[in-house]
């Protein structure tokens, strides 16, 4: 893996672009296997919903840390060294996770995997935006087809492995992501990487930071503080409120003093919308297999997994079609339509019952809605803020990852624990007293997690009653998430009105950015 050369375009852009896609496939392999193993890990390691949420969060927020940190230095250290770091971290993650014997092993293996994913995302997005500077949204959508493509392939392989390996079958499934890791590592060898378009255009590092601004720094730093707190929770500690303020405000004050720029208001707005977007797409995908498995139990133990594979297949196929669509209705129009469809799909899933045809029809609606969210948002940021270079492009992805990692996923898990606690206590108080653990408080919500080992030794009739409550609770959770894309719809409509008042949506060319 080589450092960037002195040319603006890679001499072998197709091979480099394909290698970037496969790197995203490796990321999604790990993601889908982890999503599929939640139910098994819950039983094997007696994990609460909150602990599962913490593991899912650890698979996301560390990724944001490396996305943002590498975006600040990637033009100096080079894409090659960044991807080499990711490759090594992927190998270490596999070793830690496969040898895990408790919650902490699973947590740290997932944490390291996310660090690798952040380095990958910090590199592949600006590489693609530079290679295809005149069709950014289209090619970023193709790049990110690697994510659902990996979900489909990895998911099918995990299902095919089944129980092979006996009680260690889950360890073999974790090792699956080493296949695409080896492929992208081999394809990246000997590559010449392009110079990022900001650098090639002579835009200074300070001007890049001004696009990001102290407002962007504040948003990122706030989530960084929550990330530190989330890590400390694993050891039973908490970050005091005063310390969280220091972590959030310290970098922001320093940034404001040195750079003296609020940042581009629209960019700051998109950062906030990205919090909702990431929870809608990645947060839901993290949980949907686990949530839908008991709902579709009549179709077998892997039924919930098929919902994730099915919606991912829809995404994979449609992301190749983004170019013609954005030429017709603009990227913001596409995002608005997708938000409306995703909200309807999630609400439908929440009320679909257990009829397989109805569930998969609702999943089709959700899959259509979430398809273009992530890459089209990256395309908008790259087209509107080219002076921001790798930083603005990576920051919006980083905020998405860190927000769903430290807030979205753990909060969804906590909401499930809280709601399950209330439903069981209300409908079957005697059973609740038998299986409830000591009270906990998280995100201001007090609840008693249910002990899986105690549930397992209940009489069959009582186990059935608990499962009935769990099924109802799982689907209701998706209904709560449906509110988020509904809010996003109005946000995108507001941006469309803004651009219409300015003559319509048009990508900003770097020459305009330098002189304007």
Q: What are the pLDDT digits (tens) for 117-142? A: 999 999 999 899 888 878 888 888 89
Is residue 243 assigned to a domain? yes
With a cut of 60, say whether residue 145 has pLDDT above it.
yes
Of 425, 331, 317, nearest to 368 by C-alpha is: 317
Q: What is the mean pLDDT of the chain?
A: 85
In whole angstroms, give the CA distance from residue 189 to residue 205.
29
Please state whether beta strands 440-442 and 445-447 pair in parallel, antiparallel, or not at all (unpaired).
Answer: antiparallel
Q: What's the pLDDT score for residue 6? A: 40
Average pLDDT in the 440-464 region? 85
Is residue 325 assigned to a domain? yes
In whole angstroms, give the CA distance from residue 492 to residue 506.
15
Q: What's the pLDDT score for residue 511? A: 61
With a cut of 70, say whether residue 90 has pLDDT above it.
yes
Is residue 262 assigned to a domain? yes
Is residue 6 assigned to a domain? no
In whole angstroms, give the CA distance from residue 200 to residue 389.
10
| Tokens at 140, concatenated | 């970023």
Q: What's the pLDDT score for residue 116? A: 95
Of 410, 427, 420, nearest to 475 by C-alpha is: 420
With a cut of 60, say whether residue 326 has pLDDT above it.
yes
Average pLDDT in the 204-229 region? 89
Chain centroid to CA 304: 19
Task: Give the least confident one: 2-16, 99-113, 139-153.
Answer: 2-16
Q: At what angle do helices 303-318 and 284-292 cross, to 10 degrees?
A: 140
SS3 of residue 445 by DSSP: strand
Share of the chain above pLDDT 90, in %: 33
For residue 190, with 0-12 CB atoms within 10 Å meaning exposed, 13-18 middle and 19 or more buried, which class applies?
Answer: exposed
SS3 of residue 191 by DSSP: coil
Band (284; pLDDT cuts 50, 70, 90): confident
Write down the residue that tokens 């983004």 correspond to: 322
Answer yes or no: are the C-beta atoms of 252 and 200 closer than 8 Å. Answer: no
CATH code (residue 194): 1.20.1250.20
Of 215, 216, 241, nearest to 229 by C-alpha is: 241
With a cut of 70, say whether residue 81 has pLDDT above it.
yes
SS3 of residue 189 by DSSP: coil
Q: What's the pLDDT score for residue 164? A: 79
pLDDT digits (tens, 9 = 90+) for 161-197: 887 777 888 999 999 999 999 999 999 988 888 887 7
With a cut of 90, say whether residue 450 has pLDDT above it.
no
In whole angstroms, give the CA distance from residue 204 to residue 387.
9
Q: What's the pLDDT score for residue 115? A: 94
Q: What's the pLDDT score for residue 88? A: 96
Is residue 5 assigned to a domain? no
Answer yes or no: are the C-beta atoms of 194 and 7 closer than 8 Å. Answer: yes
Of 325, 345, 324, 341, nearest to 333 by C-alpha is: 325
Of 416, 343, 433, 400, nearest to 121 by C-alpha is: 400
**Helical (H) or strand (E) element with 362:** helix 356-370
Instruction: Give the residue numbers spanning the domain of 386.
Output: 13-515
Q: What's the pLDDT score for residue 149? A: 92
Is residue 7 assigned to a domain? no
Of 276, 246, 508, nearest to 392 by C-alpha is: 508
SS3 of residue 513 by DSSP: helix
Length of the chain: 516
Average pLDDT in the 22-43 region? 87
Query: Which are the contacts of 293, defined by CB distance < 8 A and separation ≥ 6?
Result: 39, 301, 302, 303, 304, 305
Angle, alpha carbons 48-50-54 (nearest 5°): 115
Structural domain count of the chain: 1
Q: What's the pLDDT score for residue 211? A: 92
Query: For residues 86 and 350, which has the higher predicted lDDT (pLDDT)?
Result: 86
As beta bridge partners, residue 176 has: none
| Tokens at 161, concatenated | 């492995």
In whole angstroms, give the CA distance from residue 393 to residue 509.
16
With a cut of 60, say whether residue 448 has pLDDT above it.
yes
Q: How far is CA 176 from CA 4, 55, 124, 213, 456, in A?
A: 31, 19, 22, 41, 30
Q: What's the pLDDT score for residue 12? A: 56
SS3 of residue 501 by DSSP: helix
In whole angstroms, give the CA distance from residue 16 to residue 390.
18
Is residue 429 assigned to a domain? yes
Most confident of 81-95, 291-305, 410-424: 81-95
Is residue 55 assigned to a domain? yes
Query: Which are the contacts of 96, defined by CB distance < 8 A and separation ≥ 6?
Result: 105, 108, 109, 112
* Phi–psi pair at 442, nearest 5 degrees: -150, 135
Q: What's the pLDDT score for residue 514? A: 44
pLDDT digits (tens, 9 = 90+) for 59-73: 877 888 888 889 888
Band (336; pLDDT cuts 50, 70, 90): very high
Chain centroid to CA 363: 19
């Amino acid at each position: 893996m080589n450092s960037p050369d002195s040319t603006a375009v890679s001499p072998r852009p197709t091979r480099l672009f394909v290698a970037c896609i496969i790197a995203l496939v490796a990321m999604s392999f790990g993601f889908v296997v982890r999503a599929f193993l939640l139910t098994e890990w819950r039983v094997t390691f007696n994990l609460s919903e909150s602990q599962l949420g913490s593991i899912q969060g650890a698979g996301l927020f560390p990724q944001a840390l490396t996305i943002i940190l590498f975006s600040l230095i990637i033009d100096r250290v080079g894409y090659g060294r960044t991807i080499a770091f990711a490759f090594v971290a992927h190998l270490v993650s596999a070793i830690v996770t496969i040898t895990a014997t408790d919650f902490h092993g699973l947590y740290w293996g997932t944490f390291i995997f996310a660090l690798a994913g952040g380095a990958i995302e910090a590199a592949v997005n600006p590489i693609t935006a530079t290679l295809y500077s005149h069709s950014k949204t289209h090619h970023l959508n193709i790049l990110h087809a690697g994510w659902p493509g990996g979900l489909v392939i990895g998911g099918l392989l995990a299902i095919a492995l089944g129980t092979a390996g006996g009680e260690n079958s889950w360890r073999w499934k974790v090792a699956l992501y080493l296949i695409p890791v080896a492929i992208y590592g081999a394809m990246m060898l000997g590559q010449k990487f392009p110079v990022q378009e900001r650098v090639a255009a002579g835009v200074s590092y300070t001007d890049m930071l001004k696009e990001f601004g102290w407002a962007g720094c504040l948003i990122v730093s706030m989530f960084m503080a929550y990330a530190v707190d989330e890590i400390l929770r694993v050891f039973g500690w908490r970050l005091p409120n005063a310390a969280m303020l220091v972590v959030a405000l310290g970098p922001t004050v320093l940034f404001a003093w040195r750079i003296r720029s609020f940042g581009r208001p629209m960019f700051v707005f998109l950062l906030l919308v990205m919090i909702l977007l990431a929870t809608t797409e990645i947060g839901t995908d993290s949980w949907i297999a686990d949530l839908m498995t008991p709902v579709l139990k009549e179709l077998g133990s892997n039924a919930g997994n098929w919902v994730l594979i099915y919606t991912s297949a829809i995404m994979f196929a449609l992301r190749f079609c983004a170019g013609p669509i954005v030429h017709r209705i603009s990227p913001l129009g596409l995002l608005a339509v997708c938000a409306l469809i995703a909200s309807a799909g999630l609400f439908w899933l929440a009320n679909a019952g257990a009829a397989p045809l109805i569930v998969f029809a609702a999943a089709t609606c959700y899959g259509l809605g979430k398809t273009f969210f992530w890459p089209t948002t990256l395309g908008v940021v790259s087209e509107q803020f080219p002076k921001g270079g790798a930083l603005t492009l990576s920051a919006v992805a980083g905020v998405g990852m860190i927000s769903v990692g430290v807030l979205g996923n753990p909060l969804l898990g906590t909401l499930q624990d809280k709601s399950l606690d209330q439903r069981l206590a209300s409908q079957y108080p005697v059973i609740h007293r038998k299986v409830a653990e000591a009270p906990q408080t998280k995100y201001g919500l007090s609840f008693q997690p249910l002990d899986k080992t105690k549930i397992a030794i209940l009489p069959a009739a009582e186990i059935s009653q608990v499962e009935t409550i769990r099924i109802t609770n799982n689907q209701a959770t998706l209904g709560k998430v449906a509110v988020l894309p509904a809010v996003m719809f109005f946000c995108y409509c507001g941006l469309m009105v803004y651009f219409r008042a300015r003559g319509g949506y048009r990508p900003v060319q770097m020459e305009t950015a330098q002189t304007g």
